[in-house]
Homo-oligomer: A and B are copies of this chain.
Amino acid sequence: MKISCSKTNLLNGIQTVFRAVSSKSTMSIIECILIDTTEGKIKLTANNMELAIETILEGEIKEPGIVALEAKILQDIVRHLPENDIVLSTDDNCLTTIKCEKSKFNILGKRGDDFPRLPEVEKDDPFVISQMTLKDIVRQTIFSIAENDSNKIMSGELLEVRNNEMKLVSLDGHRISIRKLALKNKHDDIKVIIPGKTLNEVSKIVAGDTEKDIQIFFTDKHVLFEFDQTVIVSRIIEGEYFNVNQMLSNDYETKLVINKKDFLGCIERATLLVKEGDKKPIIITIGDGTMELKINSAIGSMNEEIEIEKEGEDIMIGFNPKFLIDALRVIDDETITLYMVNPKAPCTIKDEDENYIYLILPVNFNTVN
């Protein structure tokens, strides 16, 4: 095999597929990037068996062929070469030469035969969404998937399409995050659980162009994302997602409108007094026109007042400050609305059209503290 392409193109391609390179594996082949030019294009592939990424490079194929190169070394070398054209060639023993200007590297590659192929996903009836929108809604929900894999379903997000509306949902037993989106084009119903890791990687790789779309295809085992010159394939999580609708309610006793930045700043300050692992709640006392926030810990105490608009009952309620912070950080609105029922029932943060819904369980607290 022999190819020639610009350093920029090759480096971009490597960095795109790199996210699917296995870092530690008993199979050394999946720590490699496959370079395959047998189909008339320069195709890079990485596949860690959970996630596979393929991208097409612009460049010239001088001799068709296929080789697998250790991803980390390949990336390091290409990154440090001068900004010029690179010629990469292999001999029959997979000895690979990478040349750029007067610099020449020799590294030993592996035969491409053992490299795991991408699962086949038939590409019909794509679900289409703008790259920017996908990035946004993933960012606004991904934080509340479960951190460990003890419950497989909670480690993913539900993607649901129904009645021209798309919904992305995550939950971890303490909170639920929901983002809804009205769709321009009609699409058949979809209900699939996508691994959180996959959504994370996809949203990091897409450029986030508002003008550009991403196409998504589904089978009963896999989801495939296609955009620009890149394809990402991932397993989906099997099983039935939680019935989130029955956990939501529109009833409330207290409704309050608050400046998001003030509220977030105050909670962030409060957490300074909480050491990691310590589960001190932040205690919120809501009266007419003001909310008082208080925290008490071994380090010290803090309290602060914030102006609010209140409707309904006064209430005193405790929260894990991290859960409030996570939700507030991803909401783009300047003022937000909170709905509460009582100190033991979930609090809901949502906008009028329910484009976003964040439901957070309160925590018990000792009022003596």
Residues of A within 8 A of B (CB): 73, 76-77, 80-82, 102-108, 265-266, 268-269, 272-273, 299-306
How many Å lie between the Cα of A299 and that of B71 in the bound state?
12
- Residues of the B chain whose Cβ atoms lie less than 8 Å from the Cβ of A82: 265
One of B107, B268, B300 near A300 (C-beta < 8 A): B107
**Is the Cβ of A105 less than 8 Å from the Cβ of B265?**
no
In the complex with contacts A76-B272, A77-B272, A269-B77, A300-B103 CB distance below 8 A: no
Q: In the complex the two chains form, is A301's CB within 8 Å of B105's CB?
A: yes
Given contacts A103-B266, A306-B102, contact A80 B301 (CB under 8 A): no
Please give, as numbers and ranges, the residues of chain B lying within 8 Å of A306 by CB-CB distance.
102
Q: Are B302 and A102 in contact (CB under 8 A)?
A: no
The complex places the Cα of A105 from the Cα of B80 at a distance, in Å, of: 50
- The 8 Å CB contact of A299, one of B73, B102, B268, B304, is B73
Q: Return chain B residues, CB-CB under 8 Å to A299.
A: 73, 107
Please give the distance in Å from A285's CB to the nearest CB on chain B: 14
Chain B residue nearest in CB terms to A81: B269
Is A305 touching B102 in the complex (CB atoms < 8 A)?
A: yes
Taking CB atoms, residues of chain B closer than 8 Å to A265 are 80, 82
- How many copies of this chain does the complex contain? 2
In the complex, A197→B102 CA distance in Å?
40
Extra 18 A-B pairs, beta carbons < 8 Å, given A73-B273, A82-B265, A102-B306: A73-B272, A73-B299, A73-B300, A77-B272, A80-B265, A80-B269, A102-B304, A103-B303, A103-B304, A104-B302, A104-B303, A104-B304, A105-B273, A105-B300, A105-B301, A105-B302, A107-B273, A107-B299
Q: List 21 A-B contacts (CB under 8 A).
A: A73-B272, A73-B299, A76-B272, A77-B269, A80-B265, A80-B268, A81-B269, A82-B265, A102-B305, A102-B306, A103-B266, A103-B302, A103-B303, A104-B302, A104-B303, A105-B269, A105-B300, A105-B302, A106-B300, A107-B273, A108-B300
Q: What separation, in Å, do the CA atoms of A279 and B82 have in the docked complex?
A: 25
Q: How far apart sit A272 and B269, CA to CA, in the bound complex (Å)?
A: 43
Residues of B within 8 A of A106 (CB): 300-302
Q: Which B residues touch A303, using CB under 8 A? A: 103-104
CB contacts (< 8 Å) of A76 on chain B: these are 272
Shortest distance from the beta carbon of A245 to any chain B beta carbon, whole Å: 38
A78 to chain B, nearest CB (A): 10
Q: Are the CB atoms of A272 and B80 closer together than 8 Å?
A: yes
A-B pairs with the 5 shortest C-beta distances? A107-B300, A103-B304, A76-B272, A80-B269, A102-B305
Quote the shortest CB–CB distance from A8 to chain B (angstroms).
Answer: 17
Chain B residue with the shortest CB-CB distance to A80: B269
Q: Tell me how far the C-beta of A76 lies from the nearest C-beta in chain B, rounded to whole angstroms.
A: 4
Task: Give bound CA distance, A87 to B300, whole Å.
Answer: 17
Q: Which of A108, A300, A304, A306 has the most CB of B within 10 A?
A: A300
Residues of B within 8 A of A103 (CB): 266, 269, 302-304
| A271 CB → nearest B CB, Å | 9
